[in-house]
Structure 1
Amino acid sequence: MERMTKLTTEDYHPDSENLDLMSIAEIVQLMNEDDLKIPQAIAKVLPEIEQAIEAVIHALKNGGRLFYVGAGTSGRIGLLDAVECPPTFSTPPKLVQALLAGGSDAVMVAIEGAEDNCTLGKVELKKQQLSAQDVVIGIAASGRTPFVKGALVYAQQIGAQTISLASNPQSVISAYADIAIEVITGPEILTGSTRLKAATAHKQILNMITTTSMVKLGKVYKNLMVDVHASNFKLRERAKKIVCEATGVSYEKAENILEQTNFQVKLAIVMLLTKTTLNEAERLLAQSEGHVRTAVELKKD
């Protein structure tokens, strides 16, 4: 077992030695100032993030899935990103998944000891029938969590692409990743509480990975989420606004077209921009692999 004392995320923060004596105003100011280090740390690993995105795009284009694997805060951050993909991009629930040490019960309550079991990571991936077409991102601020290490080791054995996300240099899990992202955010103002800077940096990086991947997979037209799953009043209203912004039609016209397409925003936009029928718009989107801009260009040709 690696010694925790060697980790930069466990170091004492030089500016928060008297945290318990500070006023509320002083604490929040210090936290705010400390958080300014996050984008600077992320900027240093943008090339690795780009490589990770390319790997995810390749996997999802070729029938693979994306798995986040983590324990505690790291696992919950992966879960937060995963569960937002279906409503935002209309992806199948199984396309982006999060596997937590301790299973679904660990979402609300810490499952003691689960993260220290190197075998459990492999077990969870085997349950999901991991294949060589998939990609696994192991998340651990410490960079040493046995659950995550075990998952990455198994993923490499299977032939899946592996990516690590840690906040310590030369981390253990980096040795088991094809692409290692080490975003060094430094000591936390509350010593060892990596739910602060480290977790925030990790959330931002996961935002980059899934959002950019979905853009390149045709889930976005211009800067509009044209694959939004309009499952409630708010999202149906958003769908109408998106159609209006993309095509310049009135609210009423957008509503009418969306009702014809069962609130499939892409279809509505292609129908309006190409002045075609529902069936023709479906054909154009299929031919363009779901990219609205390409579908419109095909009609021009």
Structure 2
Amino acid sequence: MINKLITEQSSDYNNLEQMSTTELLTNMNNEDKTVPLAIEKVIPSINKLVDVIHEKMSNGGRLFYIGAGTSGRLGVLDASECPPTYGVSDDWIIGIIAGGDIALRKAVENAEDDADLAWQNLQEYAISDKDVLLGIAASGTTPYVIGGLQKAKEQNIITGCITCNQNSPLALEADYPIELVVGPEFVTGSTRMKAGTAQKLALNMISTTVMIKLGRVKGNKMVDMKLSNKKLVSRGVKMIMDELTVEESFAKRLLKKHKSVRKSLEAYKKEIKELNL
């Protein structure tokens, strides 16, 4: 099987150790340029998955990511960035990696080869048919991810996947497969490179689009972001200034009082409306 995987095919470049630094960087960059083009080809598939995720989450469902290694880390990363960015609950988008949180920093031996482990992990969150499960695996052959999708389908849970090979076992299991075929890696088999970049871009597109459709963005601003540091507070103040055309000092007072950009805007507009009645 491994010999047939595009992600495992020999690099189009050889004798890497003989290349200059400039040659290495230029050739890697040239390969990376092909990634957005591969994603462009499957936007219709991403569209279908986003729409079903939006429908489920609009009705109280959640989005789960499962993966191993780089794929698992990317899922956890995307899930962990949604609460501070969009002010949503930590249990709205949940990322699970084979081997648990320790695997975010160190490889956990054989975790990805356990076909039953993902479903055990998902049971800790009481996953149900209200939710959507998205499996992430560059190869499309990871037992941990495939096993998770198989069990989910038995429970009538909608499934999707992101993989970088065509017609993989994982894609055949998914209701909504996304196949990002980016070709052989610059370093043969190193799927943290182009494949990982493609997966990250796709996850960005999926979660961002879902959050926008769920009303977590106003205009082009993250009005529900958590004000967890000075930079974000300053960003919030600027949002209020731009939206309401008010002075910085006034915007700061509004934000300090309401603790949220959205609430600040709503409170001000409500007050103005009442004054005009």
TM above 0.5, yes or no, is yes
Which residue identity does 2:248 align to in structure 1?
A: Y
| TM-score of the superposed pair, with normalisation by structure 1 | 0.89
Q: Shift of the alpha carbon at 1:271?
A: 2.5
Q: Shift of the alpha carbon at 1:235?
A: 1.3
Q: Which residue of 2 aligns with 1:21?
A: 18
Contact 1:11 1:187 in 2 (8 A): yes
Aligned pair partner of 2:179 in 179, 182, 199 = 182
| Structural mapping, 1:1-301, within 5 Å | 3-14=1-12, 16-261=13-258, 263-276=259-272
What is the distance in 1 between the residues matched to 2:209 and 2:197?
Answer: 18
What is the distance in 2 between the residues matched to 1:247 and 1:131?
Answer: 43
C-alpha RMSD of matched pairs (Å)? 1.6
Q: Shift of the alpha carbon at 1:92?
A: 0.8
Which residue identity does 1:273 align to in structure 2?
A: K
Q: Shift of the alpha carbon at 1:21?
A: 0.8
Q: Which residue of 2 aligns with 1:285?
A: none
Runs of 4+ that moved beyond 6 A:
none
What is the distance in 1 between the residues matched to 2:125 and 2:148?
Answer: 12
5+ unaligned residues in a row in structure 2: which ranges? none
SS in 2 for 1:188: coil
What is the distance in 2 between the residues matched to 1:222 and 1:30?
Answer: 39
Q: Shift of the alpha carbon at 1:274?
A: 4.3
What is the distance in 2 between the residues matched to 1:58 and 1:276?
Answer: 35
5+ unaligned residues in a row in structure 1: which ranges? 281-298
Bigger relative CO (Cα 8 Å, ≥ 6 apart):
2
Q: Shift of the alpha carbon at 1:260?
A: 2.1
SS in 2 for 1:137: strand
SS in 2 for 1:131: coil
| TM-score of the superposed pair, with normalisation by structure 2 | 0.96
Q: Shift of the alpha carbon at 1:166?
A: 0.2
- CA deviation profile, 1:205-239 (whole Å, cap 9, x unmatched): 00001111111111111100001101222211111
What is the distance in 2 between the residues matched to 1:25 and 1:247?
Answer: 49
Which residue identity does 1:268 align to in structure 2?
A: S
What is the distance in 2 between the residues matched to 1:95 and 1:126?
Answer: 16
Which residue identity does 1:266 align to in structure 2?
A: R
- CA deviation profile, 1:64-96 (whole Å, cap 9, x unmatched): 111110000000000111110111001111111
- CA deviation profile, 1:223-277 (whole Å, cap 9, x unmatched): 000011012222111111111122211111111111221x211111123334359
Contact 1:130 1:158 in 2 (8 A): no
Contact 1:141 1:198 in 2 (8 A): yes
Which residue identity does 1:9 align to in structure 2?
A: T
Which residue identity does 1:5 align to in structure 2?
A: N
